[in-house]
Amino acid sequence: MSLVEVAGLEVAFGHGPPVVHDISFTVEDGECLALVGESGSGKSVTARALLGLAGHTARVRADTLAIRGTDVRSHTERDWKRLRGRHVGMVLQDALTSLDPLRRIGDEVAEPLRLHRRGSRAEQQERVLQVLTEVGIPDPQVRCRQYPHQLSGGLRQRALIASALVAEPGLVIADEPTTALDVLVQDQILTLLGKVTAQGRGLLLISHDLAVVARLADRIAVMRHGRIVELGFRDQVIDDPQHDYTKYLLGIARRRREDRPPAAEGEPVVTVDRVSRSFGGHRAVADVSLSLRPGQTVGLVGESGSGKSTVARMVMGLTTPDDGRVLLHGRPWSETTERARRPHRRRVQLIAQDPHAAFDPRYTVGRVIAESLPDLRGQARHARVIDLLSTVGLDAGLVTRRPHQLSGGQRQRVAIARALAVQPEVLVCDEPVSALDVSVQAQVLDLLAELQRRLGVAMLFITHDLTVVAQISHQVLIMKDGEIVEEGPTRTVFDDPQHSYTRALLQAAPRLPEGR
């Protein structure tokens, strides 16, 4: 008997058409099945249907939907409650919003035990400490008395996994469990999830990233447009994919860094000269220097909190360094007044992680871009907007749309179009693709590289993702705790890392096994 058996699963919302069709798979004890697909492919909906969490407007239909042989199709909310936590545990993506900010970690983790009345209070307490130790939380005695905001992202994710494991469910569902985490933490969490299957539990792992799942999955199901397009053993899917879409995803995941020819040496546009900056006694950036030359991309890599965004803000002239200075074309940029900076602001443009927040919610796409073109009027301005949209590969029909009506990739393209409208010399890209699906990431990176070739802009590319930086940078700086620990041409840094931290980062980056 399989742990989970699903056949002909179909989920629709309201009166709409089904969003997932004809989903069939099984999960066995001690096995990891990965559902891989891009956002909107239906993987989360599928997982939620297994827990009766698809939502009250959802219509769930299936030929078979069984957990450990029990037909759950006619389960009422009460039946589901008996199942959740005890037989099926769930780990969500964002541990900060998934944990109640007002409850201590210990209480949160003990919740499933209390709901299912497992053991006395003392026994529950003991089990909580045991499971916190198991997931590798140091000082569980101390940690279980703390609140979520007192824990780092990695510890929070561990606590969430602990709460999924505490009642010893046979099946654990993990929905993008590492997407919000830095590579080193991701590496630890994946190791931890590996132990779940080693203990004989079933694991349903959901991710948009093939490289992440390849490490844990025994079998992989590739989803697209609400259907499973390919399902097979890991090695089979990765080495000998049958479906074109799987091949496409693998192609993106395997993208090698193209050794970008070093750009022509020119006079630096931006020079960052030994800047430091503290916030309330905490040293965010210490003694950082770099220079950006026309046509050249400098990658700045670091984990969250390493100070890389503060460097970006100093280059933008939005944050003033405490020490050191930033020069634009050899002239003072950080050491001048806002009034003096304003006429030159257009030269340095920003592409932010979340373009949605960077657009006035009342504006249409056309108006967003037109704002960057104050010198043009009427027909000329409209023509230029259309021209810019086509430069970034968007349809002219989008001008009347509002940002929230666009997909993440389209929004990022609009942000790029807006930045290009003022003909900048420097683009500061702060995690520009982190919120995007891998295939969209690839498209946006290609676009940025192509624009750089054509327009010769200098780019400062900030990311926590080594794969991304390898694809686009000529030069790489590795940042840790506010300091640059290693720098050099991309190829040198990746092939022959000198600093132990760089080596650890490269080691932890998820990688697909080489194809045949």
Applying CB under 8 A, which part among 51-59, 115-123, 270-278, 442-450 lies near another protein? 51-59
Instruction: Count the residues of the shown chain that bind another protein, applying the rule CB under 8 A.
Output: 42
Q: Tell the smallest beta-carbon distance from residue 308 to another protein (Å).
A: 17
> Is position 274 an interface residue for another protein (rule: CB under 8 A)?
no
Q: Which of 82, 274, 345, 377 binds another protein (CB under 8 A)?
A: 345
Q: Which of 195, 225, 344, 511 binds another protein (CB under 8 A)?
A: 344
Q: Which of 358, 449, 504, 508 binds another protein (CB under 8 A)?
A: 358
| DSSP per position, 386-449 | HHHHHHTT--GGGGGS-GGGS-HHHHHHHHHHHHHHT--SEEEEESTTTTS-HHHHHHHHHHHH
Among 128, 116, 109, CA closest to 80: 116
C-alpha 96/C-alpha 90 separation (Å) is 15
Q: Tell the smallest beta-carbon distance from residue 198 to another protein (Å).
A: 33
Q: Which of 20, 90, 350, 414 binds another protein (CB under 8 A)?
A: 350
The count of C-alpha atoms lying within 13 angstroms of the C-alpha of 197, restricted to the half-sphere facing its C-beta, is: 22
Burial class of residue 120, CB neighbours in 10 A (0-12, 13-18, 19+): exposed
Tally Cβ neighbours within 10 Å of residue 362: 7
489 Cβ contact partners less than 8 Å away, ≥ 6 residues apart: 262, 474, 475, 476
Interhelix angle 500-508/183-198, rounded to 10 degrees, is 50
C-alpha 299/C-alpha 307 separation (Å) is 14
Among 245, 187, 496, CA closest to 177: 187
Q: Which of 2, 28, 39, 58 binds another protein (CB under 8 A)?
A: 58
Both tokens assigned to 292: 């950006």
318 Cβ contact partners less than 8 Å away, ≥ 6 residues apart: none
Q: Looking at this protein, which amino acid is placed at residue 272?
A: V
Both tokens assigned to 349: 């443009």
Residues 427-456 that bind another protein (CB under 8 A): none
> Is position 114 an interface residue for another protein (rule: CB under 8 A)?
no
Residue 426 pairs in a beta bridge with: 348, 458
Residue 272 pairs in a beta bridge with: 290, 326
Residues 17-46 that bind another protein (CB under 8 A): 22, 24
Q: Looking at this protein, which amino acid is placed at residue 180?
A: A
Q: Which is nearer to another protein, 358 or 504 (CB)?
A: 358
Q: Which is nearer to another protein, 274 or 342 (CB)?
A: 342
Q: Which of 74, 120, 337, 379 binds another protein (CB under 8 A)?
A: 74
Q: What is the DSSP pairing of strand 64-67 with strand 58-61?
A: unpaired
> Is position 7 an interface residue for another protein (rule: CB under 8 A)?
yes
Applying CB under 8 A, which part among 223-231, 297-305, 350-358, 453-461 lies near another protein? 350-358
Q: Which is nearer to another protein, 214 or 328 (CB)?
A: 328
Helix (H, G, I), strand (E, B) or coil at 218: coil
Q: Which is nearer to another protein, 342 or 503 (CB)?
A: 342
Among 222, 225, 229, 187, CA closest to 208: 222
Residue 7 pairs in a beta bridge with: 64
Q: Tell the smallest beta-carbon distance from residue 156 to another protein (Å).
A: 25
Q: Which is nearer to another protein, 140 or 366 (CB)?
A: 366
Applying CB under 8 A, which part among 74-82, 191-199, 201-209, 249-257 lies near another protein? 74-82
Q: Which is nearer to another protein, 49 or 173 (CB)?
A: 49
Backbone angles phi, psi at 493, to 5 degrees: -65, -40
Q: Which of 343, 375, 378, 454 binds another protein (CB under 8 A)?
A: 343
Residue 244 DSSP symbol: H
Helix (H, G, I), strand (E, B) or coil at 304: coil
Q: Tell the smallest beta-carbon distance from residue 350 to another protein (Å).
A: 5
Q: Which is nearer to another protein, 104 or 346 (CB)?
A: 346
> Is position 349 an interface residue for another protein (rule: CB under 8 A)?
yes
Q: Which is nearer to another protein, 160 or 292 (CB)?
A: 292
Q: Which of 37, 42, 52, 408 binds another protein (CB under 8 A)?
A: 52
C-alpha 516/C-alpha 508 separation (Å) is 23
Applying CB under 8 A, which part among 155-163, 205-213, 235-243, 355-363 lies near another protein? 355-363
Q: Looking at this protein, which amino acid is placed at residue 333?
A: W
Q: Tell the smallest beta-carbon distance from residue 188 to another protein (Å).
A: 32
Q: Which is nearer to another protein, 423 or 500 (CB)?
A: 423
Binding string, residues 284-323; x marks residues near another protein by CB under 8 A: --------------------------------x-x-----
Applying CB under 8 A, which part among 39-47, 54-62, 261-269, 468-476 lies near another protein? 54-62
Task: Summarize as ranges the residues that interact with another protein (CB under 8 A).
Answer: 7-8, 22, 24, 52, 54, 56-63, 73-77, 316, 318, 342-346, 348-350, 352, 354, 357-362, 371-372, 374, 418, 422
